[in-house]
Amino acid sequence: MKMLLTASALAFTLALSPIAFAHDRSKSDSMMQSSPHAAKAPYDIQYLDTMAEHHREGIKMFQIAVDKAESKELRDKAQTMIDAQQKEIPELKAMRDDVKPNMPEAINMKLPGMMMMDMSKLEAATGKNFDHKFIDMTIKHHQGALDMSKAELKSGKNKMVKGKAQEIIDMQTKEIAEMKQMREAMK
């Protein structure tokens, strides 16, 4: 009997270990890091690669809201932001290929506005508390995109990339205002 319990415990532990490993691995995958030698790449390339990464991180956060937000309006807005940023990532990549094809990836976590978002607090929140946290995090995330895009306008060299940075500034500014209005309406 003791041997059977030990074998069962071992089987149970082994069965769970891939789940535990996958969970640990997904946590480390979400830890963004700069690409090797990113800071040595032309600034326009750093901006394009880093903004694409910034969008990917935003999409993860917006998806949580699509799944959890109490407000239908907020769920719809989160889906709209997912759609916009999923569309923009290939545009950033295509622009990058036009500017400097075949260059190694240059994600630079030290660019202005690039920050790690702690999704655990958002994932733990529910109801109106979730909606408020999501709005606050989205405003902070969008402000990061504004900061990064303003730095591109200042330090970038490519006219087309600067034009894209201005588009992002315009869109993110508008979305910040919308999020602030939603927050005010939820009080």
pLDDT in tens, the chain (187 residues): 444 434 443 333 333 333 222 223 233 344 578 999 999 999 999 999 999 999 999 999 999 999 999 999 999 999 999 999 999 999 999 999 999 999 999 999 999 999 888 899 899 999 999 999 999 999 999 999 999 999 999 999 999 999 999 999 999 999 999 999 999 998 7
115 dihedral zone (left: phi>0; alpha: psi -120 to 50; beta)? beta
- Token readout for 159 is 């006219």
Q: In this predicted structure, what is the pLDDT of residue 31? A: 57
CA torsion 47→53→55→58, rounded to 10°? -130
* DSSP secondary structure, 83-139, as one string: HHHHHHHHHHHHHHHHHSTTPPP---TTSTT-----HHHHHH--HHHHHHHHHHHHH
CA 100/CA 7 separation, integer angstroms: 58
**The CATH number fitting domain 43-186, selected from 1.20.1260.10, 3.30.300.170, 2.40.160.10, 2.60.120.10:** 1.20.1260.10
Where are the domains positioned within the chain?
Answer: 43-186
Placement of tokens 């319990």 in the chain: 5
- Distant-in-sequence, close-in-space partners of 86: CB < 8 Å, separation ≥ 6: 55, 59
